[in-house]
Amino acid sequence: MDMGKGISYFGLVAMGVGCMLGTSWLLLTGTWLETAGGPLNLAVAFALCIVIELPFAFAYMEAIPMLPLPGGEVVYSYAAFGPGGGFAVGWAGILMNTIVFCWVDLAAVSLLDGLFPALGTTAVLYHVGEFAVTLPNVVLQLALAGGILWVQLRGANVCASLAKIATVVLLVMCAIGLAICFAHFDPAIYAADGGLDFNFSGSAALLSLLVFSVAGWETVSKAAADATGPAARKAGAALITCLFLVTGILCLVSTAVAGCMPWTQAIGRTAPFADVLVGLTGQSWVRPLFLITAFVGAVGVMNSTLYSSARMLYGLAQFALVSPKFAKLHPRYATPTRCIWFTAAFVVLTPFTGKLLFLPFINVASLTTIVMWVMTYAAVLTLRRSRPELRRPVSMPGGRVTAVLGAAASVFLAGNILLPMSPGALDGLEYALAALLAALGAGLYLRRDRSVSRQEQEKRIFGDLLRR
């Protein structure tokens, strides 16, 4: 049985935007301005972020129509580097999306705490550092994750429908908020407190955060296998659309805040964009309205990340890179049931850890994101030499220039997270967590069906595609 197809072009864009936009547009503006040291430095950091991520996105543009098969990055890396490479990138993608799914579940309930403060103070079970774990929050987090799980079990078209709703709500509300802010934009306020003073070190410091704040566009590569009609041929364009659209929105929101409120006053605020709109409109209900909008965004991220992690695990099972038990599909909805349950099971522990203990996992997710992007980029270049016969409806734009930029971006990202003196470097605990999760993946890989030959694996993955 094959998984039912039902994602349109807008559905692909919605899945990507839903995984990217989330809550950062509302909650991180103050942090970004503080890290950058002013709005001009922030704008430069966003521009550099596009430059760094674009070569990887271009690589996906070539890979998706070349190998339009379930599993996304698993397929590209298997074709280029064999079973070990396919599993490594697949497990990295599963970890990244699962960690983000759990983290956003925490963030979503934190937004509810902002709307209903009693949720974070009633029936306290215990404290983890300064963070209280309360019974209402635990129940809400599990209920929210359960709702997303139910959507995933119903199939790709239901997932895409939820993503469309979340995306439309986010884009409409962001557009309204931006229109109000830019109608009152004051260049003098933007320049206040040294807003126009340029300091590259500030831009570089923010860049290390932004690279992963706008990650998620690669979700399109997994959804492309479920696309219908012309959407399947335009998946690469959908991915690029997601990257530019979300990065542009995030930069505009921060710029709008800095043009209506001295940027130093945005620092320390939970939702400076909403606070600015309250001041401009004189309506206090605007703030909870935008908190609710961010909650919808969080739901969209959870939907897209669980979809991605389950589809990647299904790809590993289908290709005999993990136990074949994960390849079982729902008899009615044709969804990878066991993959969905396995990846969603991690969220059961999340409500009980508190934010303090979960923060290191986010940096591990950054590492796994680098693994996915760099291996996909390297796979595209490798396949040009090893499998030149593959049909390539789209070539990676930019030719050698993109190849050079991609190599430089790969070195930058790896150095930023692995070198001890870098702003995004992992610490000892995070290395230990990464090693533990890698060991878990190795255990799954060792339990694969070893009776399946390399030839049979390739047949399962590619069918007749490699013999065209």
For residue 390, the 8-state DSSP code is S
Q: 425: helix, coil or strand?
A: coil
Q: Report the alpha-carbon distance of residue 190 to residue 168 in Å, rounded.
A: 29
Q: Name the token pair of 447.
A: 């339990």
**pLDDT tier at 428 (50, 70, 90 boundaries)?**
confident
Give the pLDDT confidence of 181-201 residue by residue, as tens digits: 999 999 999 999 998 999 888
Domain 9-461: give its CATH architecture. Up-down Bundle (1.20)
Nearest to 23 by CA among 365, 300, 424, 254: 300
Nearest to 17 by CA among 220, 205, 185, 269: 220
Q: What percentage of the chain carries pLDDT values higher than 90?
A: 23
- Given this model, what pLDDT does residue 188 score? 95
Contact 52, 412 (CB under 8 A): yes
- Given this model, what pLDDT does residue 226 score? 64
Give the pLDDT confidence of 235-264 residue by residue, as tens digits: 778 888 888 999 999 999 999 999 999 999
Tell me which of 84-93, 270-279, 423-432 is least confident: 423-432
pTM for the model stands at: 0.83
**pLDDT tier at 468 (50, 70, 90 boundaries)?**
very low
Q: Report the alpha-carbon distance of residue 306 to residue 98 in Å, rounded.
A: 6
Q: At what angle do helices 399-418 and 200-213 cross, to 10 degrees?
A: 90
Secondary structure in 3-state letters for 284-325: CCHHHHHHHHHHHHHHHHHHHHHHHHHHHHHHHHHCCCCCHH
- The stretch 34-58 carries a mean pLDDT of 91
